[in-house]
């Protein structure tokens, strides 16, 4: 089996940008994704801070542009290939999927992250029956209904605004009295009459029979519990990194995010990490794409030094 120059795992903005740069460096490049290209872009309605797109661009459109761009420079994209394990065989990385195994001289791990769970009673039971982690996917099912959004970051506030397109009312439930989202989004939320912030409250349970009917909330200041009738609940409380298959080859933070240097190098020579899976200050589409570019150029440099 001939080895790829670069195997990229994850076809979000980081992986696709890495594919553009690796392809343009004339490296034999494959990008594996567990689903289809786009990563979290696919669950984002509108991106309004990606440089150059001053009128905004939908997550789907941007992912399509990135996919076409990576393929234009020769990267091969393989969908539906969740990676189960990664090992070293001498100097080569062996990447296993359900479809078999492939080998690469370098590996760029850009597998992103998945939504964190609240881990309260009712959450797992009502997934798809009122509990959702994706407003773009499920928002339209809640036309003229009452929903709750959980979280106080950029995702929660942006998705609460998006849900007002459909829902008659959106409760925005946050565990503190201050949101952490950027001010421009907080101001939009304040101006939106459909959104009602519910502060200093945590969800104790999600209740219903066939579908979600209510939330039990606990006041973090007084300890008092109350019942809030809702038809749906959208949970945006952050993400966890997809790191398991490479965890033995990298150093991570306590939360599991991969530690790299500025050139996206991990502790294993030839293994680079890029995008949301990496420990860094700012997690945005533009910084994910930048990570991917740096990782691909570092892989190029690594191969040149090794192979001459
Ligand atoms: P985040 O910034 O980590 O915010 C998570 C929110 O959920 C916080 O408000 C946190 O509360 C709350 N939370 C965490 N665990 C909780 C729990 N168990 N119960 C209740 N609440 C809980 O996550 P994010 O909003 O998904 O954003 C992730 C990254 O992507 C951030 O860097 C963000 O800036 C970026 N992002 C950017 C954009 C954009 O620029 N347009 C859009 C989306 C996301 P505390 O505040 O009390 O910690």
DSSP 1: -
Q: Note whether 197 and 254 are same-domain residues.
A: no
For the stretch 266-301, pLDDT in tens is 999 999 999 999 999 999 999 999 999 999 999 999
Choosing from 189, 218, 235, the residue where a domain stops is 235
- Residues 259 and 224: beta-carbon distance below 8 Å: no
Note down the domain range covering 302: 4-114+239-307
For residue 1, is pLDDT > 80? Answer: no
Q: Note whether 250 and 215 are same-domain residues.
A: no
Mutate to test the pocket of ligand 1, among 238, 284, 288 (most ligand atoms within 8 A of CB): 238
Predicted pLDDT at 216: 98
Mutate to test the pocket of ligand 1, among 117, 149, 153, 204 (most ligand atoms within 8 A of CB): 153
CA 156 to ligand 1: nearest atom: 25
For the stretch 172-206, pLDDT in tens is 999 999 999 999 999 999 999 999 999 999 999 99
Share of the chain above pLDDT 70, in %: 100
Q: Note whether 95 and 14 are same-domain residues.
A: yes
Q: Note whether 161 and 191 are same-domain residues.
A: yes
For residue 111, is pLDDT > 90? Answer: yes
For the stretch 201-258, pLDDT in tens is 999 999 999 999 999 999 999 999 999 999 999 999 999 999 999 999 999 999 999 9
Q: What is the mean pLDDT of residues 36-47?
A: 91
CA 236 to ligand 1: nearest atom: 26
Q: Note whether 14 and 155 are same-domain residues.
A: no
- What's the CA gap between 295 and 145, in Å, rounded? 45
The total domain count for the chain is 2
Q: Note whether 144 and 226 are same-domain residues.
A: yes
Q: Note whether 245 and 171 are same-domain residues.
A: no
Look at the pTM and tell me if it is higher than 0.75: yes
Predicted pLDDT at 108: 98
* End-to-end alpha carbon distance in the chain: 22
Residues identified as active-site: 134, 137-138
Choosing from 210, 235, 260, the residue where a domain stops is 235
Predicted pLDDT at 45: 85
Q: What is the mean pLDDT of residues 8-25?
A: 98
- Residues 236 and 43: beta-carbon distance below 8 Å: no
Q: What is the mean pLDDT of residues 116-145?
A: 96
DSSP 220: T
Cα-to-centroid distance, 156 and ligand 1 (Å)? 7
DSSP 184: H
Average pLDDT, the chain: 96
Confidence of residue 143 (pLDDT cuts 50, 70, 90): very high
- Residues 108 and 296: beta-carbon distance below 8 Å: yes
- The candidate with the shortest Cα–Cα distance to 229, out of 203, 207, 198, is 207
Confidence of residue 60 (pLDDT cuts 50, 70, 90): very high
- What's the CA gap between 29 and 216, in Å, rounded? 50
Predicted pLDDT at 43: 87
CATH classification of the domain holding 171: 3.50.50.60
Cα-to-centroid distance, 157 and ligand 1 (Å)? 9
CA 118 to ligand 1: nearest atom: 18
Q: Note whether 108 and 244 are same-domain residues.
A: yes
Q: Note whether 74 and 103 are same-domain residues.
A: yes
Cα-to-centroid distance, 143 and ligand 1 (Å)? 25
Q: Note whether 94 and 123 are same-domain residues.
A: no
Q: Note whether 18 and 106 are same-domain residues.
A: yes
Predicted pLDDT at 2: 86
Choosing from 202, 235, 268, the residue where a domain stops is 235
Q: Note whether 123 and 226 are same-domain residues.
A: yes
Predicted pLDDT at 68: 98
Cα-to-centroid distance, 116 and ligand 1 (Å)? 10
Phi, psi of 33 (to 5 degrees): -135, 145
């Amino acid at each position: 089996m001939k080895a790829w120059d670069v195997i990229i795992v994850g076809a979000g903005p980081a992986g696709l940008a890495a594919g553009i740069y690796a392809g343009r460096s004339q490296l034999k490049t494959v990008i594996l994704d567990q689903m289809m290209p786009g990563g979290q872009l696919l669950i984002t309605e509108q991106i309004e801070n990606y440089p150059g797109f001053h009128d905004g661009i939908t997550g789907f459109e941007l992912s399509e542009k990135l996919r076409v761009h990576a393929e234009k420079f020769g990267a091969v994209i393989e969908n539906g290939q969740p990676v189960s394990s990664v090992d070293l065989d001498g100097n080569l990385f062996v990447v296993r999927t359900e479809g078999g195994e492939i080998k690469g001289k370098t590996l760029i791990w850009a597998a992103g992250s998945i939504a964190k769970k609240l881990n309260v009673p009712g959450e797992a039971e009502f997934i798809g029956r009122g509990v959702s982690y994706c407003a773009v996917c499920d928002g339209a099912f809640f036309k003229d209904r009452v929903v709750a959004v959980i979280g106080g970051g950029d995702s929660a506030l942006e998705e609460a605004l998006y849900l007002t397109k459909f829902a008659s009312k959106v409760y925005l439930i946050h565990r503190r009295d201050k949101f952490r989202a950027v001010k421009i989004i907080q101001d939009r939320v304040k101006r939106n009459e459909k959104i009602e912030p519910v502060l200093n409250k945590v969800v104790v349970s999600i209740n219903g029979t066939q579908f979600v009917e209510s939330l039990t909330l606990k006041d973090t200041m007084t300890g008092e519990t109350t019942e809030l009738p809702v038809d749906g609940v959208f949970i945006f409380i952050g993400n966890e990194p997809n790191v398991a298959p490479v965890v033995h080859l990298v150093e991570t933070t306590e939360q599991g995010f991969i530690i790299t240097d500025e050139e996206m190098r991990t502790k294993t020579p030839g293994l680079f990490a890029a995008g949301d899976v990496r420990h860094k200050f700012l997690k945005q589409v533009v910084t994910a794409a930048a990570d991917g570019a740096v990782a691909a150029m570092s892989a190029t440099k690594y191969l040149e030094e090794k192979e001459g």
